[in-house]
A and B are shown apart, each in its own frame.
Chain A
Amino acid sequence: MSENGSFVVAIVDDEPMVTQSIKNFLSLETDYEILSFNSPQEALETLKDRPVDVIISDYLMPDINGIELLLQLKEIQPQATRILLTGYADKENAIKAINDVGLYQYIEKPWENEDLKLIIRNGIEKRVLLRRLADKVQELDKASAELKGVYSDLLKAFK
């Protein structure tokens, strides 16, 4: 989440036309904050210290491909939902990478904007659920620690 509380989606594609069109569509239709990158290096550099909720990467890019990029980004931001854009020919690679990369979903080019929006929404909901779950687990730990504290104080006084 960004500082103002909106969710952050990062898009990586070497073609500016692709990132621009996704960015335009999502800016119109959602409240998400969109970060777009036209080179994997640029994305790695920025995302080092900029937490995001969803990362969408193209598969075919010069230098490193989308799966390698997502793998590196998984190290940096393991909690972000990862989505791969693939051409029809690369689909097999995407399927193979599902487990390695912890890929949430892949989307075939050309994609339907509504479809993309829905997948991003699901990815964000997953993030929110995981975060709330972690919060609750922590609160639960705290509550049970407090319970134990009260209990042991009592024991000390009355044993």
Chain B
Amino acid sequence: MTSADTSTATTPTLMVVDDEDMVLRSIANLFELESEYRVLTFASPREALETARRERVDCVISDFLMPEMDGLEFLKALKDVSPNVPSILLTGYADKENAIKAINDVHLYQYLEKPWDNDYLRLVVRNAIGHKSLEQALSERLHELDRALHDRDTFRRTAEGLEAELRLAEEVQRSILPQSDLTDPHYRFFSRYYPTGQLGGDFYDVAFAHPGRFHAIMADVAGHGAAAALGTMLVKVLFTDIRQRDDGCDGMLCDMNERLHYLLPTTHFVTAFVVRADAEARELVAASAGGPHPILFSRDPARPVEQWVLNGLPLGAFDSAIYRRPEKVSRPFTSGDRILLYTDGLLDTDVDHSESVDPTEIVRTIEDIRHLDGNDLLDRLAESRGIGERKLPDDVNLLLIEAV
């Protein structure tokens, strides 16, 4: 047995089996000189089988007439050891009929009559090895495909499980918004919640100290998804807890800021706007933590529609922030007066942001519809922003409060 040294796995291996040394040498010379193949030659078919058990073979050339066993017996035995090796049979003229009969038995790749033509043999071996490598590539792809389909299905199941939890989380999130219609002898409340179908950071709440006096908050936890949604829970709890003290709005935001700064992950923050209504004082008091400026207006067309411009630092970003403002933070709020609190989703209602508007656009829209009843007004406002016609990039929350 002669062989080129053990070479890399990518070099195709050609096995040649013939009892005549001259044949082995001439074929080995041909391929060693003119190809990249690694050539293994055997005078004994048995030894060749032994080697095929241990090593990968990509093509085999076998003589027909050999003393130990004939070429067909050898190729049949080789099929058991290494089923996918294409085989080429060298036959004398007299054995050709036998070779032809055996084509199907051993799935012979091709047979060549001795004496063979070197060019032709080279072409046949090239094709045989090409064939083998195609089969190899195919079986690798089949494996990969199996794995990919399996991964995909596993992933899909995981996704379905997570999806279900997401729906549940969404329900929970929705449940923290005021559930029943808010009623008070002095105020009427109208609200809308347009979800994106994903978890978000929008949140609003109204909390009464007693009839005629309440705090309302419109908040947006930065970011989307589960983290933002969990943030809204925190804001709800803090808001419910702190408003018990019924301070002014700036004190409330101070308190919320301190606790949120402690509780929220460092990169998270909350924008909010808080108002406190008092029916006795017939006024609204406000404080801002960077939330959108609410819009103040009245059914009375003589009063202007205006933004309540009040600025402040977002909650949770800095360890101590002051929300007391030098400017006036109260406004008269008497019969027929209204305030619209909203989240910034209202300004940006389509996914490619081509419909982004300035708050002054909302002011103009309200100028046209301020006379409408609360529910109609909110519906018309939503309609004017294309809500309901397209997929929203962000949740939209609206809260309209009207003094009776």
> A residues bordering B, Cβ < 8 Å?
91, 95, 98, 104-106, 108, 112, 114-115, 118-119, 122, 125-126, 129-130, 132-133, 136-137, 139-140, 143-144, 146-147, 150-151, 153-154, 156-159
Q: Is B224's CB under 8 angstroms from A159's CB?
A: yes
**Interface SS of chain B:** helix
Task: Choose among B110, B142, B166 the residue that contacts A136 (Cβ–Cβ < 8 A).
Answer: B142
Q: B134-174 interface mask toward A, CB cutoff 8 Å, 1 = contact, 0 = none? A: 11011001101100110110011001001100100000000
Q: What are 18 A-B residue pairs whose CB atoms fall within 8 Å in the complex?
A: A104-B127, A106-B123, A108-B120, A115-B110, A115-B111, A118-B108, A126-B134, A129-B138, A133-B138, A136-B142, A140-B144, A143-B149, A150-B156, A153-B159, A156-B198, A157-B166, A157-B199, A158-B225
Say whether B110 contacts A119, CB under 8 Å: yes
Are B131 and A122 in contact, with the CB atoms below 8 A? yes
Q: Count how many pairs of residues, one from A and one from B, have CB atoms less than 8 Å apart in the complex.
A: 85
Q: Which residues of B contact A144 (CB under 8 A)?
A: 148
- Decide if B130 is an interface residue (CB 8 Å cutoff): yes
Q: How large is the interface on B (under 10, 10 to 19, 20 to 34, 35 or more residues)?
A: 35 or more
B198 near A98 with CB under 8 A, answer no
**The 4 nearest A-B residue pairs measured at CB:** A136-B141, A143-B148, A129-B134, A147-B152
Q: Are B103 and A118 in contact (CB under 8 A)?
A: yes
Measured CA separation A136–B80 after assembly (Å):
28
Contact for B103 among A114, A146, A150, A151, CB less than 8 A:
A114
Contact between A147 and B110 (Cβ–Cβ < 8 Å)? no
Given the interface pairs A129-B131, A151-B155, A154-B159, the reply to whether A140 lies near B103 with Cβ below 8 Å is: no
Instruction: Please determine whether B159 and A158 come into contact, CB atoms closer than 8 angstroms.
Output: no
Q: B100 contacts the other chain (Cβ, under 8 Å)?
A: yes
Question: Do A98 and B152 touch across chains, with their CB atoms under 8 A apart?
Answer: no
B111 touches A118 (CB 8 A): yes
For the complex formed, measure the closest distance between the CB of A110 and the CB atoms of chain B, giving whole angstroms: 13
> Are the CB atoms of A147 and B100 closer together than 8 Å?
no
Given contacts A122-B109, A157-B199, A146 and B138 within 8 Å (CB-CB): no
- Docked CA distance A125–B107 (Å): 12
Beta-carbon nearest neighbor of B199 in chain A: A157
A159 and B225 contact, CB distance less than 8 A: yes
